[in-house]
Structure 1
Amino acid sequence: MRVLPVAAGLAVLVVLAACAGCTSSATPSYSVDNNGVLSVTCAPVTTNETVIFANETYTESKIILHTQTGDVVTYLSYPEHPKAVMLYLPGAGEKISGHAERMVTYAEAGYAFMFLDYRGRGGETAGYPLNPQTDYALFENKEWPEYYLTICDISSAQALLAGRFGVPVYAVGGSNGGRYAAVAAGVDKNFAGYVGISTADWGIKDAVLAQGGSGDVLRFATSLEPSTYLPTISPRPVWMFHNATDPIIPFADGQALFATASQPKIFTEFDGDHGINPDVDTRLIALLAQIYGTQA
């Protein structure tokens, strides 16, 4: 295909403002109710965008979210007029390079695809791996746990994408990313739905209960679990994908999380082992085609 010229040697700098869809210009804050449900008011962010590649099918760019607590790196691929956006939270060890064909696949089917390298994942975005003890100490001190900051990052990305394209944005995640995506979709009602791939609860709440925990520690642990939020996503759809022989997150654990969701929901067994793959892409695009009338 013909590659379209991109100004300044493939570098176009765009500065935009974005804020989480569930927030206003109020002071950033969070709260966790007695049922362990998180609510957030997120600070606005600014973004720098560098176009990496463009042709007749799609444009790919790197977008950095400049938040008050550090930069978050994302990659966006989109056709000229996307029908919807898949905001994807990757699992541990996933590289953007492994999604090059996927970005083309979604663009050809009429959808934008954003890869969000969230905090602590070990990629380009700084942060520490999930650490409930460290985050609980911050929670007790009325500071922001990194987990909650990540939910704000996801929500800010949703607001940016919705504002830019004017189309529905889905929270999508594989493995650990599916856990963050589920929480974000529950917290931010502006997401059009949730797609979880090879994912389940963390098991943190169960561990706290097994140790006799209660009060603040139990409330905090509950706020981290995807199952706390899946029932609240309805009437937006919940679509989950899992392989019966998943070697990392057991199939039964994925089914248990899915059982907590309200209708409309669909659970699909896919071919593969763990995480997003071409079979998941094909099945997900087919589901989207039922709504948006597009198909690769």
Structure 2
Amino acid sequence: MMRGYFAAAGLALLVVLALFAGCTGSTPSPSYSVDKSGVLSVTCPQATANETVLVTNSTYTVSRYVLSTPTGNVVTYLSYPEKPKAVLVYIPGAGERVAGHADRMLAYAQAGYAFMFVDTRGRGGETEGYAFSPQEDYAKFKANNQNDWPEFYETICDISSARALLAAKFGVPVYAVGGSNGGRYAAVAAGTDKNFAGYIGISTADWGLKDAVLAQGGSGDVLRFAESLEPGTYLPKISPRPVWMYHNATDPVIPYALGEALYATAGEPKTFTEFNGGHGIDSDVDNKIIAHLAQIYGTQA
């Protein structure tokens, strides 16, 4: 089983080094800015990737992909058929581990798509960092040290860098996908990076930070910072690329109505689909996403 490949030690591993495609000659210095409307813009640092193949056969390959950035390594896992039709960069919610997605990664590969699981900074997994902390990130935002970014912004660059790597590797469209908290990061990444083919959000909504700041009479920098973290700031900017959102009507963590409210901020084309289950991605969502992709790329689950 694939789960054994994620956990097993002593496997014979094939290591391949790959550089991200980028501009030749001089490279702009990494920087970020947030405009008066709270919209984040980033010039991401160059990154490289180290791919360790865990298993490969005539149907699919599974590898551990480590993105090396100037501010640390970001661990990802990638499954793909020989010639994928599209790529999904998946940002997990709190508590999700790659082992829980082994069957899912295989299912997408068998359906003709590459699937990358990104272990984002500070989740307590294999990638170092601190847990999501608006307070700590706001202190960095106020300091405006371009050599010490808010971690949230670094993560947006990680997602964008993954997109660039996979687009160069496969030459196919790449979608930003996320569940729960991960759906929030993915929305910001898709709105910030126009090269994403679209956005897929599952059981997600705004953080509520902007509303909390406004309720306390906040304005100026603190409001602008809160807006820069909210998915709703970026969903209108994804159009005319597609937005697909999925939510369970009885979601026990993020209420359905909050998902609908975020969806309302998106431009066309967009779809909002109810699914059976609980909170976060599950097999019903997978089947719906694969069917939706099949309408575009002509593949079937």
Distance 2:234 2:193 in 1: 10
Matched AA of 1:266 = T
Partner of 1:295: 300
Aligned partner of 2:77: which letter? Y
Contact 2:21 2:168 in 1 (8 A): no
* Equivalence for 1:166: 171
Q: Is the counterpart of residue 267 in structure 1 residue 267 in structure 2? A: no
Give runs of aligned pairs for residues 241-256 of structure 1, distance below 5 A. Answer: 241-256=246-261
Give the distance between the partners of 1:136 and 1:147, measured in 2 at CA: 10
State which of 57, 65, 89 in structure 1 corresponds to 2:59.
57
Residue 33 of structure 1: which of 35, 47, 54 is its match?
35
Q: Show the counterpart of 1:4.
A: none
Which residue of the partner structure matches residue 5 of structure 2? Answer: none
Q: TM-score, normalised by structure 2?
A: 0.93
- Matched position secondary structure for 1:105: helix
Partner deviation per Cα, 1:164-183 (whole Å, 9 max, x = no partner): 00000000000000000000
Alignment-mate amino acid for residue 87 of structure 1: V
CA RMSD of aligned residues (A): 1.4
Aligned residues of 1:19 and 1:42 also touching (Cα < 8 A): no
5+ residue gaps, structure 1: 2-7
Alpha-carbon shift at residue 20 of structure 1 (Å):
7.7
Q: Report matched runs for 1:1-296 at 5 Å.
A: 9-18=11-20, 25-143=27-145, 144-296=149-301
Q: Check the 8 A contact 1:10/1:53 in 2, yes or no.
A: no
User: How far off its partner does 1:9 sit?
Assistant: 4.6
Amino acid at match of 1:131: S
Q: Deviations over 1:37-85 (max 9, x none)?
A: 0000011011111000111210000010111001100000000000000
After superposition, the Cα gap between the structure-2 partners of 1:134 and 1:12, relative to the gap in structure 1 and judged at 3 Å, is same
How big is each residue's C-alpha offset from its partner over 1:101-125, in whole Å with a ceiling of 9 and x where there is no partner? 1111101110000000001111111
Q: Letter of the aligned partner of 2:272 in structure 1? A: F
What is the count of residue pairs matched by the alignment? 288
> Structure 2: where are the runs of 5+ without partners?
2-9
- State the one-letter code of the partner of 1:259: A
Partner deviation per Cα, 1:240-278 (whole Å, 9 max, x = no partner)? 000000000000000000000000000000000100000
Q: Please name the residue that 2:6 is paired with.
A: none
Deviations 1:145-168 (A, max 9, x none): 000000000000000000000000
- The alignment partner of 2:14 has SS state of coil
